[in-house]
Amino acid sequence: MIETPNHHALVIGASGLIGWSVVNQLLRPLAGRPRLSLATGVNLLCSDHKFKGTLKEKVSDVDSLMQRVVRAVKKLSPSFKFIVYPGGTTLEGAPLVEELADRLPLDYAKTVSYSHYRAMLTEECARASWSWCKLCPDAIIGFTPNGSGYSLAGHWSVYLYAYRLVHGEGAEVPYPGVQAGYDCLYSETSATTLARFKGKMFNVADSETPSSMRKRWPQIARWFGLVGTAPSSSAHVNDPKPSDFIQAHRERLEEEGAKGVAIWNAGQLDSYGYWLTFDRQLSLRRLRDAGFDEERRPEDGWWEAFEMFKKAGMIQ
């Protein structure tokens, strides 16, 4: 809960991949730095009534300040202004332009949660003074202190650190995926960029120019003192994965003081280079039309994340 004289920010999932960076941006050095109050032990699976009571108990000033959260906040803070929530692209077929997400076949649309969230928020804010937007990134590159099923940077940082320990500096490390996954185009979004934009549904990315792992993997490996190479022509989904290598050398990692060796959703992250084999770059036209013109080097998001993982002791 961020307290300022006029506005408050309620961050749900503040220690997650996106939430951590949102809070970090809110607390960045400013002349009037806001005060942070942590509210722990909030159960989002309880009834609306119980959640409302818990929120009121845990956050003393919430009276002055999504469906359970949205309705609770609506009841407790009639003057609240805006809800921002992050979604994703792969379940919607990576919409190159945002309008495509609203034109999904009905039999497919009912399996995608994001469209239901948008419909719910639109209904809840009808005839109200508040509104909402969805931020739609592809690959989110950032730091999270307690593990994440979506932190590719965290998973790969442990893998490449272990690889260097075992094989030494300068060793070649093939991309953990197939050739199509190495060459397909995508848009990278650092958690820092994601945290700074608000505004309906916006594609967001660090750069309008798409990238590929053919460009990024050698750069990532170089940060660890390794030489990143393309996957072999015979690479297969059944090949040993980064998590297999990490587990095989877990004792070595622990001897070196690496923390958080097994806190990532390895199964999902291991599959990244094998099933994401299609172009999925995003159009930033709506973002630019809204006046957000900032561009940053996508690789900088990786370096920031790796430095934070190192600072947190997850790698050495």
Q: Is the pLDDT of residue 1 over 50?
A: no
Q: How many domains does the chain have?
A: 2
Q: Is the pLDDT of residue 161 over 70?
A: yes
Last residue of a domain, one of 119, 139, 159: 139
Answer whether residue 215 is part of any domain: yes
Q: Which pLDDT belongs to residue 211?
A: 92
Do both 148 and 287 map to the same domain? yes
SS3 74: helix
Answer whether residue 97 is part of any domain: yes
Do both 133 and 191 map to the same domain? no
Owner of token pair 């893998």:
159
Do both 132 and 202 map to the same domain? no
Do both 20 and 124 map to the same domain? yes
Predicted TM-score (pTM) of this structure: 0.74
Residue 283 sits in a domain whose CATH number is: 3.40.50.720
Answer whether residue 269 is part of any domain: yes
Residues 6 or more apart in contact with residue 249 via CB below 8 angstroms: 162, 165, 166
Do both 76 and 177 map to the same domain? no
Q: Which pLDDT belongs to residue 152?
A: 86
Last residue of a domain, one of 110, 139, 168: 139
Answer whether residue 173 is part of any domain: yes
Last residue of a domain, one of 98, 114, 139: 139
Answer whether residue 169 is part of any domain: yes
175-230 per-position pLDDT tens digit: 999 999 999 988 887 766 655 554 377 888 899 898 999 999 999 999 999 999 99
Residue 212 burial class via C-beta count within 10 angstroms: exposed 0-12, middle 13-18, buried 19 and up: middle
Stated as kind and residue range, the H or E segment containing 48 is helix 48-58
Do both 227 and 135 map to the same domain? no
- Comparing 107-111, 115-119, 272-276, 309-313, the range with the smallest average pLDDT is 107-111
Do both 149 and 291 map to the same domain? yes
Q: Are 264 and 144 in contact (CB under 8 A)?
A: no
> What is the C-alpha end-to-end distance of the chain, expressed in Å?
32
30-70 per-position pLDDT tens digit: 656 556 666 777 776 777 778 778 877 877 666 545 677 88
Q: Which pLDDT belongs to residue 237?
A: 93
Do both 66 and 174 map to the same domain? no
Q: Which pLDDT belongs to residue 2?
A: 46
Answer whether residue 172 is part of any domain: yes
Distance separating alpha carbons of residues 312 and 225, to the nearest angstrom:
20
Q: Apex CA 21: angle with CA 20 and CA 23, to 5°? A: 70
4-20 per-position pLDDT tens digit: 456 777 887 777 777 77
Do both 111 and 163 map to the same domain? no
Do both 71 and 132 map to the same domain? yes
Q: Among 145, 47, 60, 137, which Cα is nearest to 98's?
A: 137
Distance separating alpha carbons of residues 5 and 192, to the nearest angstrom:
25
Do both 135 and 153 map to the same domain? no
Q: Provide the residue range defining the domain that includes 178.
A: 140-311
Residue type, 242: P
Answer whether residue 279 is part of any domain: yes
Q: Is the pLDDT of residue 279 over 50?
A: yes
Answer whether residue 316 is part of any domain: no
Do both 182 and 83 map to the same domain? no
Tell me the percentage of the chain whose pLDDT exceeds 70. 78
Angle between the N-to-C axes of helices 298-311 and 213-223, in degrees from 0 to 180, rounded to the nearest 10:
30
45: tokens are 């699976």
